[in-house]
Amino acid sequence: MTAHPNVRLTVDTPGGLVVTLGATRVAAGAGMFSGEAARHRSVLVNGVPGHMSWRLDGTPLSVIAVTVTGGRITGIHIVVDPAKLATIDLPAPP
């Protein structure tokens, strides 16, 4: 699956929302979230495809939801804010 040229990445951080627009810019920053994840799995987030990752101690690291339109990724929303993660009903680590 490929990203739409105008894909929108929204990252919910402790400091607020960070928005990145455009497939090239989104792809350039893709590796920044992979370092701390010890466990991860695919999940449904509000009925859409997503991904969940946890730290080694089992605390949630991130939830990612992906919006697909016409076979292309048009939106990616990532929550990494620990306070917001604590309010979400999350699955247990694998």
pLDDT digits (tens, 9 = 90+) for 33-80: 556 667 889 988 878 888 999 988 888 999 999 999 999 999 999 999
Mean pLDDT of 2-23: 93
Looking up tokens 């946890």 gives: 54
What's the whole-model pTM score? 0.85
Structure tokens at 73: 């990724």
Closest CA to 22 of 75, 83, 61: 75
C-alpha–C-alpha distance, residues 71 and 21, integer Å = 18
pLDDT surpassing 80 at residue 31: no
Q: CA 8, CA 22: separation in Å to the nearest integer?
A: 6
